Amino acid sequence: MNPVANRRALIVDDQGVTRFATRVITEELGFEVDEAQNSADAVEKAVLQCYQLILLDFDMPGVNGAECAKQIRQLDNFSSQNTVIFCLSASSDPQIKEACLEAGMDGYIERPCLESNLAAAIDGWSAAQ
């Protein structure tokens, strides 16, 4: 995997077990990890901290992952060049994938998310830059 300066990640999911499992994988890839349990918390954290990677659940109560990605991309302090946003979802619905990309996400990873899947997605994004 290509090196990422300051390797900081935000995991956003309303399910604690899922956040924990994703956290373990993300930390194994060398990231320091923060967590958010909903979109409002994620946007608040993105205002305060620069993340190189944001992993968003699509199906959250209230504001879904696609809308959350739009809100984060619109922040004044946010540079899309420096942050990769991936959707993590158990759904293989092409409409969800399309909504995520239209919202400014860089990719879509189907669950269950394995370390190799996440590493490959990050490498693929890095190589395209």
Q: How far is CA 129 from CA 7, 22, 83, 100, 122, in A?
A: 17, 25, 12, 19, 11
In this structure, the strands spanning 107-110 and 84-89 are parallel
Residue with tokens 């956040």: 19
- The torsion angles phi and psi of 53, rounded to 5 degrees, stand at -145, 130
Domain ranges of the chain: 8-128
| pLDDT at res. 110 | 84
| pLDDT at res. 79 | 62
- Both tokens of 48, joined, read 């305060």
Q: How far is CA 80 from CA 24, 59, 89, 108, in A?
A: 25, 23, 22, 16
| pLDDT at res. 119 | 78
Per-residue confidence in pLDDT tens, the chain, 129 aa: 444 456 899 999 999 999 999 999 889 888 999 999 999 999 999 999 989 899 999 999 889 999 999 999 988 776 656 789 999 888 888 999 999 999 989 888 888 776 777 778 777 765 554
The whole model's pTM is what? 0.87
Q: In the CATH hierarchy, which fold is given to the domain comprising 8-128? A: Rossmann fold (3.40.50)
How far apart CA 59 and CA 80 sit, in angstroms, is: 23
Residue with tokens 């946003």: 85
